[in-house]
Structure formats: C-alpha cells, structure tokens
Amino acid sequence: MTGVVARNKAGAEPRVPLSRERVLRAAVRIADEGGIRALTMRRLAEEVGAEAMSLYYHVANKEEVLDGIADAVVEEINDVVGRLDVPSRGDGWKTAVRRRILSAREVLLRHPWAPGVFESRTTMSPAVLRYHDGLIGLMRDGGFSNDLCHHALHALGSRALGFTQELFDPGDAAGGDDAAALAGMAAELPHLVGMFMEVAHDDPDSTLGWCDDQTEFEFGLDVILDGLDRLR
C-alpha cells in the first residue's frame, strides 16, 4: 500500500513514505546498535516513526525481517567483494579466495549479529548463492574441478562467508577468578588446562582473553586453503 507514511513528529521533517528498503535499513541499524534481541516489530515501528501495523504492508512478520536483513548484509558483502581486483588464474586462486573471504569477514565485523541470523535461516537466498558462485569461479580459475570445488565448500563451511561456529567460546571467562578456577582443575584436565593457561599467558591482551579471534580465523582459513592447494 503505497500511501502508508511515517508519522510526522512535532518539528520533524516532512513525512517520508515507508518502503521495504527503509524498514530493513532501520532493522539493520537497530541490530547494529543493540543486538538482534533489540529488534522487535514495536521497536522497528518506533525507529521509522510509524504505527506498528503499517510495517506489515512491507514485511509480513519478524521472520521476513530477519530474512531481509540477512540479505542486506550479504548484498553489502557482494558489493565489497565485487570491487576486488585480485588475479585468480593458476596459483593466484588462493590469494584471491583468501582476500574475498577476509573482505566478507570485515563486513560481518560491522554487523556482529549477522552470523547468528545466517545460522537460523533455512534456505539460501539469491544473494548468498551469488556470493558462492563468485567463490567457485575463483577456484575454477585456479584449476579446481567441480568435484573439488564441492569438497572445498564443505571444508570451508561458514568460514567461506567470514565466520566460524566455534567449539569453545570463552565469553567472559578471561577474568582472573575464572583463570584461577581453571588452574585448580589441572590435575583432572592437565592437557586442556595446560593449553589454556599457556595461551592466556602468551597473549594476555587478546580480544577474547584466551585467544585472538581474527588470528584464529585466519589460521584455520590458511590451513584449509593450503590443503586445497595441495589437492589442486
């Protein structure tokens, strides 16, 4: 319904008609500022200055909003990687793929809520398919068979889009009390505690306390790419 407009607050600029694009931009802004839990239909209506029911002319429900903002982030990624100019023929494939994935990660770091939304989606959107199509193109430039491209996508998993599903997520466990508690378990878990205590000692200023998330992401990515290069 094209006649739906945002409410005009006292002293505000002239009312701007609502659109799906405007609603989704506002939803991304809310999630960026307060996390995905802050994104409710009521909060979204407040953000665009409209009645809550007006949103439903543009998005059917919360799930459609989540689909839309996930697509918006992937479109942002596609825009960024589409501007990359890295030779991918022959041996250049690995540098090109690495640059593509790390560029996607830079976008996700601006939208830290996005990986959780990606994981909750049940289908791949056209935007995600376009991203992976470009990734496969770089591997094909490097001499990969279609079969090896298929294996590569499985090996990369979510890492292809710039994020990982970590087995260990220390969260706030970097504090001194937690470290002391962990040290007290050394007799029961000698290898695990020994590893954690050494990592924490070697890198006390890391982003997660126990490890540097970006360093670990790149380490895992390089291990996979090096292995794929040997198979190539």
In terms of Cα–Cα distance, which of 154, 190, 197, 149 is closest to 173?
197
Q: What does the block give as tokens for 220?
A: 């895992």
Specify whether the CB–CB gap between 221 and 98 falls below 8 A.
Answer: yes
How does residue 66 score in pLDDT terms, banded at 50, 70 and 90?
very high
The per-residue pLDDT for range 137-171, each reduced to its tens digit, is 999 999 999 999 999 999 999 999 999 976 655 55
Q: Cα(169)–Cα(165) distance, rounded to whole angstroms?
A: 9
pLDDT greater than 70 at residue 200 = no
Q: How far apart are CA 105 and CA 163, in angstroms?
A: 7
Residue 220 has pLDDT above 90, yes or no: yes
Task: Tally DSSP H helices, then E strands, for the chain.
Answer: 11, 0
- Which pLDDT score, from 0 to 100, does residue 205 have? 47
pTM (two decimals): 0.81
At 165-191, the pLDDT tens digits run 766 555 544 455 566 676 778 788 888
